[in-house]
Amino acid sequence: LSCFRNIIDAIIPIIMLARLQSILQQFPDLDLNRSLLLGLSGGPDSLVLLDLLSRLDYPLSAAHFDHSLRDESGVDAQRVGEIALSRNLPFFLGKGDVRAFSVEESLSIEEAARILRYRFLFSKAREVGAQAVVVAHTADDQVETILMHLLRGTGLSGLKGMDTFSLPNEWSQDIILLRPLLDIWREDVINYCQENDLNPVTDPSNREVTFFRNRLRHELLPYLETFNPAVRRSIWKTARVLKGDDELLERMVEREWSRAIHEKGPGYVSLHLSILKEQPVGLQRRLLRKALAMLRPGLRDISFDMVERGLHRLEGKKTGLLTDLGSGLYIYVEGDIVWVANWEAELPTSRWPQLELSRGRLQEKELHVPGSVQLRNGWEMHAAVMEDINTARKKASQNQDPYTTWLDSFGLQFPLLLRPRKPGDRFQPLGMEGSSIKVSDLMINEKIPKRVRRAWPLVVAGEIIVWVPGLRPAHQFRLLDKTDKVVQLTLKTP
Amino acid sequence: LSCFRNIIDAIIPIIMLARLQSILQQFPDLDLNRSLLLGLSGGPDSLVLLDLLSRLDYPLSAAHFDHSLRDESGVDAQRVGEIALSRNLPFFLGKGDVRAFSVEESLSIEEAARILRYRFLFSKAREVGAQAVVVAHTADDQVETILMHLLRGTGLSGLKGMDTFSLPNEWSQDIILLRPLLDIWREDVINYCQENDLNPVTDPSNREVTFFRNRLRHELLPYLETFNPAVRRSIWKTARVLKGDDELLERMVEREWSRAIHEKGPGYVSLHLSILKEQPVGLQRRLLRKALAMLRPGLRDISFDMVERGLHRLEGKKTGLLTDLGSGLYIYVEGDIVWVANWEAELPTSRWPQLELSRGRLQEKELHVPGSVQLRNGWEMHAAVMEDINTARKKASQNQDPYTTWLDSFGLQFPLLLRPRKPGDRFQPLGMEGSSIKVSDLMINEKIPKRVRRAWPLVVAGEIIVWVPGLRPAHQFRLLDKTDKVVQLTLKTP
């Protein structure tokens, strides 16, 4: 039996090499002539990966990041460097103050270490022109990561675990993050080390930076094995199935995204409410999550509560209400448009007529007839006398354009004035006989978005509001049979 | 503070009733005039559900299943009955020998108890014409179920947990399985009991039938809370997101299924290989899983390995190889058709010409010219003399139909014979000059499926094979310039 075991052990390196090759072959983007940068911690996983990669044809270099969290970390780093140099590999050593960084950024030690380590690896990879950073996470690491995500709360993207091939990734748009050992168990890695006389520098049971993960590895997983001895493999298989499912859903999201998106600008993304609402809730959630991820690419996990609050806003009947999503973002429904935005972002107003601002003040402007006035974002108001009364009457009766109107000029005082609304402003729209309505109420009724009401131009003759552009003209200046002179007002959009 | 707590406690029933109503309103299929059958264990969860449901307008009855696993279970059952009767509800008591059933069916006690309990509840529901069986699983039960699935190995359908509304379900095609408390935590249930003087009959910490679940509840979850005090809520939220994702994927499967399916018959399902292969692997997996679920509706979990073995078969280049999937099923690729079948199932042969069987023996038959012969599944072979030689020559040269051929009758021996292949049979197809090929090799080359080769009809004149239907005619009997008499052979499909 021990002889049989010897044979197996001798075969392991061959099998593992073959598996590594078959994994790498799945990614045709990998170029045999471009180099790989290996993250070399000095633990058994990374030593085995070093040994396997040296047997392949890719140009290879290695990098080690000294987290400086233990006294002996410098000595260890030196030994890791010696291993790389003994194999004639270019070696890069990085060092950072993880503790200080964790305090500065209010991060756990683990998270701070991770960020500094990967930043170093990717900056080195860029420097040496490597096509990929290769790290040695195993199937055991995968299972631990998934459990960690589950314990902390996650969705499918967390439960599917890490990807073997990741581009773009958190660190780069063009350098691949490669984890070729995700299908290989730590047990096989340890055997490989023994069989090939690889001597790990660091004790993997002593990863001082990952207290949470250590408890998970040394306490939780053995405990879970008392429920099911094959629990690691069960979780690993689950992750594999979920990865396929997640890919399917992401395809679906990509397909619907181009329909759902309305506009993307600095600090905001807007979506079509009607298109979102026709999707099943799972897809609404993923589309909203995608919008949030565009505004917060750094945020590793867009939280469940953030997305659910957003979904709740979409469900509500009322438009015009803001919902705070946390992390400095809000969601706001305006007619058919859903705005997801930073609190500081200025939402575009170019879809509506707005008076110009000068040193923070809204500009009143005279409008001569004929004549024209410039508004914000390239909008213009034109006024003209229309000689052909019959045509004017016909056009007015058939008009569908809310930004054009015709007024009986009898009683109009020239020049007209374009000004913002004032408190107490009232208006009697065409058809509302004998009474008037507050302009502010009218704007609410007509669903003019709140944020553009203040600078909305009113056309005034003396004290009388003769037109609220976008709405009907004043009843008093409607065209009558006896009308003998007509003024045509038109808002031109850019 | 204690006063404030009192107010909260007093409000709980009102809030919970409102939540229950809003949950039930989500399901327009529920009919206020049709009754609900409540599964009443006597634990706090089911008592609270009883109390809440009595405040609604649905006709209500209750049923209790005595698992007879403890000495006092009969006394408990009686007390549960008294509670139902004190509320003037119709009450049904069931009893079963869980231990015997578990031995008989090689099930865990837990699983045996579950099956007998639900069978009882659904048979009673059918008897009294109830529209739904209502059970009192809480958010805590949901979390436990998900963890149990994760530990045992599962996919998205296991991780999303139980559904509030389930139809069709494992037990019925038309009676709903309803779990309206899935959003409510056990803590609130316990408070509700205290506030409303509900006295549980059974101790929920003493569910003797669910040893695994008990360890999960009393050991694992408190332990996981040392990693994250809010772990229950995290898992519950995860499940909620996954449920939406799973719904999306199931929609996708439904859409593709109608394209992918080829045929469904007793003990088999066949799919189009080319359509499967154009799908991403996640969808291939789900389509295959659906086919397996159709053949094994009783199998609660189609295993990961079963599906992966099937996927592996689809990836393979070779057709005609069987892969055992376990659970008495196999998968078999035949040209563009993927058969998923029971080992005992007889796959349909109706797509191919087959000699008839009589008492297990293949029937040789004489074919007169003119004349016809009956084959299996409504196929027929027709022979006729064709007078117009030029037309015959033209048709033969343009022929696309592998089941029609024209032979020079010079040298043919009548009547022709239809017989199965014999060992050593050789054939010289049209165009193959000077040599012949073994009929068995020819059938392999021409991709005639293995299972239909034995009964494939050969047309023989004396000792010479003149035609293998589906392939070219014999070289020797091809139409020549000097041909003056032509026999036309045609296979007619039903």
Instruction: Please state the pTM of the whole predicted model.
Output: 0.78
- Contact: B235, A152; criterion CB under 8 Å: no
Go through chain A and tell me how many residues it has.
Answer: 494
Q: The tokens 């009883």 sit on which residue?
A: B50
Determine the pLDDT at residue A195. Answer: 85
Residue from B221, B233, B245 to probe the interface with A (highest A Cβ count within 10 Å): B245
- Contact: A280, B235; criterion CB under 8 Å: no
Provide the pLDDT confidence category of residue B1 given band limits of 50, 70 and 90. Answer: low
Structure tokens at B92: 């049904």
Determine the pLDDT at residue A404. Answer: 93
Among the partner residues B223, B244, B282, nearest to A245 by beta-carbon distance: B282
Checking if the pLDDT of B345 tops 70, the result is yes
Determine the pLDDT at residue A383. Answer: 95
Q: Cis link prior to A348 (omega < 30° from 0)?
A: no
Q: Which residues of chain B neighbour A224 with C-beta distances below 8 Å?
A: 151, 220
Concatenated DSSP letters of B382-446: EEEEES-HHHHHHHHHH---TTEEEEE-TT--SSEEEE---TT-EE-BTT-TT--EEHHHHHHHT
Shortest alpha-carbon distance between residue A57 and chain B (Å): 28
**What sign has the CA pseudo-torsion A191, A193, A194, A196?**
positive
- Per-residue model confidence as pLDDT tens digits over B49-87: 999 999 988 999 999 999 888 888 899 999 999 999 999
Among the partner residues A215, A216, A238, nearest to B154 by beta-carbon distance: A238
Check residue B140 and report its DSSP letter.
H
Q: Are B149 and B158 in contact (CB under 8 A)?
A: yes
- Contact: A280, B244; criterion CB under 8 Å: yes
Contacts of A87 (CB under 8 A, 6+ apart): A50, A54
- Contact: A155, B251; criterion CB under 8 Å: no
Task: Provide, rounded to the nearest whole percent, the portion of chain B with pLDDT above 70.
Answer: 95
pLDDT tens, position by position, for chain A (494 residues)? 566 667 766 677 788 888 888 888 888 888 889 999 999 999 999 999 999 999 998 999 999 999 888 888 899 999 999 999 999 999 999 999 999 999 998 888 888 999 999 999 999 999 999 999 999 999 999 999 999 999 988 888 889 999 999 988 889 989 999 999 999 999 999 989 988 889 999 765 555 546 778 888 889 999 999 999 999 999 999 999 999 999 999 999 999 999 999 999 999 999 999 999 999 999 999 999 999 988 987 556 678 888 889 998 888 766 667 788 988 899 988 888 899 999 888 888 888 899 998 888 999 999 999 999 999 989 999 999 988 888 999 998 898 888 999 999 888 888 999 999 999 999 998 888 888 999 999 888 887 888 889 999 999 998 899 999 988 889 999 998 888 899 999 999 87
Determine the pLDDT at residue A61. Answer: 97
Q: Does A229 touch chain B (CB under 8 A)?
A: no
- Per-residue model confidence as pLDDT tens digits over B169-216: 889 989 999 999 999 999 999 989 988 889 999 765 555 546 778 888
Q: Are B403 and B493 in contact (CB under 8 A)?
A: yes
Determine the pLDDT at residue B152. Answer: 85
- Contact: A280, B152; criterion CB under 8 Å: no
Checking if the pLDDT of B390 tops 80, the result is yes
Among the partner residues A234, A247, A251, nearest to B152 by beta-carbon distance: A234
Query: ipTM of this model?
Result: 0.77
Q: The tokens 């509560």 sit on which residue?
A: A305
Euclidean distance between CA atoms A177 and B343, whole angstroms:
45
Among residues A452, A460, A479, the alpha carbon closest in space to that of A367 is found at A460
Q: Are A301 and A291 in contact (CB under 8 A)?
A: no
Q: Does B154 touch chain A (CB under 8 A)?
A: yes
Determine the pLDDT at residue A451. Answer: 83
Q: The tokens 């799908």 sit on which residue?
A: B279
Half-sphere exposure of B384 (CA within 13 A, CB side): 9
| pLDDT, average across residues B221-230 | 93
